[in-house]
């Protein structure tokens, strides 16, 4: 596979929104005017964010603000319902500051810290860039905005409309997902389209879920294996945005439609929407990871997570699904030996999803 850098994207600038375009499109076609209105607002903010991103890629050096002490350093800003052009907003809580009266500020601060500690304690990684980069978050983005973003430099969270989604800081796996995009940017830097993009989304989901499982000290059997369960509002029956299990996260939901994620290679999406299905086809490797973790039992971050972390360091910008299959097998062999249970679990899982 020939390596080719995209001329419009600088190296560390994946832009991710936690709500995939297919959900926003579905909401924009709702029969209810109020649902359509907030969906269109969310789509407009995504477009605005991409425009801001395009400008930022021309300003190298803005990213990766170093932490003064080379250790956990968080800055939380309030953008006070402003849009992307107002980012980051007013600084409201710095590292070591006492709690705020605003729960969104405290959640953004707390979960960024949990994610930092997860990477530090389990993998010896010092922040997203492994050099103590400051973790910057802005809360209260937009008005009733149904989305959260990783812009390439920082996290930003909408408040949700309170009906379909509630405030996006409530979910540790959402925070872990978005910050893992930062880790990916500083490691294999998978190009955000087609299979490499689906692998980028996959790694963000895997470590997002693992941060939550680690924080809750859950075994593979106790874990819910859901992404976004804590941000679903009272008016949707959907239990989450995505699930690692063989089930669908939602089906014929009046607001969200049906979860489009395949769990087997034969159902892979080959269209061009969603950057070539980055939030769709990630379902295939997600399910493989789940099968490995369930086969090995215990706590998913201890073995399956270790194999996947090692793999993340070895992949390249243009890695495809086949490279992922090969590299996870290699990593399992390096860590546990060629005939090991861990290696066999990895091989069996990929086979089960069609490789
Ligand atoms: Zn993402």
Q: Which of 50-64, 273-287, 302-316 has the lowest mean pLDDT?
A: 50-64
Q: What is the mean pLDDT of residues 222-237?
A: 96
Q: Which residue has the higher pLDDT, 282 or 151?
A: 282
Give the closest residue to 285 by CA, choosing from 344, 189, 349, 194.
349
Residue with tokens 């969906």, as numbered in its chain: 39
Neighbours of 330 (CB within 10 A): 16
Distance CA 164, CA 34 (A): 11
Four-way CATH pick for 194-352: 3.40.50.720, 1.10.238.10, 1.10.390.10, 3.30.1540.20? 1.10.390.10
Looking at residue 53, its pLDDT comes to 58
From ligand 1's centre to the CA of 105, what distance in Å? 21
Looking at residue 8, its pLDDT comes to 38
Give the closest residue to 169 by CA, choosing from 210, 228, 224, 128.
228
- Environment of ion ligand 1 (residues, CB < 5 A): 16, 204
Q: Give residue 94's Cα distance to chain centre.
A: 24
Q: Which residue has the higher pLDDT, 39 or 318?
A: 318
Q: Any residues with CB less than 8 A from the CB of 234 and at least 6 apart, and which?
A: 163
From ligand 1's centre to the CA of 338, what distance in Å? 33
Catalytic residues: 178, 279
pLDDT greater than 80 at residue 96 = yes
pLDDT digits (tens, 9 = 90+) for 101-123: 999 999 999 999 999 999 999 99
DSSP code, position 13: -
pLDDT greater than 70 at residue 52 = no
CATH class given for the domain over 16-185: alpha beta
Looking at residue 57, its pLDDT comes to 45
Tokens representing 202 are 């996959």
Looking at residue 153, its pLDDT comes to 86
From ligand 1's centre to the CA of 291, what distance in Å? 21
pLDDT digits (tens, 9 = 90+) for 193-221: 999 999 999 999 999 999 999 999 999 99
pLDDT greater than 50 at residue 76 = yes
Break the chain into its structural domains and give their ranges: 16-185, 194-352
From ligand 1's centre to the CA of 154, what distance in Å? 13
Element containing residue 184 per DSSP (H, E)? helix 172-185
pLDDT greater than 60 at residue 58 = no
Equal fold, 16-185 vs 194-352 = no
Q: What is the mean pLDDT of residues 209-238?
A: 97
* Cut 0.85: pTM above it: yes
Q: Is 113 helix (H, G, I), strand (E, B) or coil?
A: helix
pLDDT greater than 50 at residue 348 = yes
From ligand 1's centre to the CA of 232, what distance in Å? 17
Tokens representing 197 are 């993009």
């Amino acid at each position: 596979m020939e390596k080719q850098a995209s001329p419009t994207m600088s190296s560390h600038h994946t832009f991710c929104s936690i709500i995939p375009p297919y959900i926003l499109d579905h909401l924009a076609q709702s029969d209810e005017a109020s649902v359509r209105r907030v969906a269109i607002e969310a789509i407009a903010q995504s477009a605005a964010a991409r425009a801001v991103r395009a400008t930022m890629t021309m300003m190298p050096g803005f990213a990766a603000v170093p932490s003064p002490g080379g250790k956990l350093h968080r800055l939380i800003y309030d953008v006070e319902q402003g849009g992307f052009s107002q980012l980051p907003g007013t600084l409201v809580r710095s590292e070591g500051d006492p709690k705020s009266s605003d729960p969104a500020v405290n959640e953004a601060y707390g979960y960024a810290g949990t994610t930092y500690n997860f990477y530090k304690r389990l993998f010896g990684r010092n922040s997203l860039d492994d050099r103590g980069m400051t973790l910057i978050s802005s809360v209260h983005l937009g008005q009733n905005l149904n989305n959260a973003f990783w812009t390439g430099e920082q996290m930003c969270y909408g408040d949700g409309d309170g009906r379909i989604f509630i405030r996006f800081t409530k979910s540790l796996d959402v925070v872990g997902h978005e910050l893992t995009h930062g880790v990916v940017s500083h490691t294999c830097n998978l190009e955000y389209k087609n299979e490499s993009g689906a692998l980028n989304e996959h790694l963000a989901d895997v470590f997002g879920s693992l941060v939550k499982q680690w924080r809750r000290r859950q075994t593979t059997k106790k874990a819910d294996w859901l992404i976004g369960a804590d941000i679903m509002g009272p008016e949707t029956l959907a239990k989450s945005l995505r699930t690692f299990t063989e089930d669908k996260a939602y089906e014929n939901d009046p607001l969200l439609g049906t979860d489009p994620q395949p769990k087997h290679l034969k159902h892979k999406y080959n269209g061009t929407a969603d950057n070539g299905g980055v939030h769709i086809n990630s379902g295939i490797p997600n399910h493989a990871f789940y099968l490995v973790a369930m086969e090995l039992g215990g706590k998913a971050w201890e073995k399956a997570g270790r194999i996947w972390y090692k793999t993340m360091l070895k992949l390249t910008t243009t890695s495809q699904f086949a490279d992922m299959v090969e590299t996870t097998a290699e990593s399992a062999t390096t860590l546990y030996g060629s005939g090991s249970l861990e290696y066999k679990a990895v091989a069996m899982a990929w086979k089960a999803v069609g490789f």
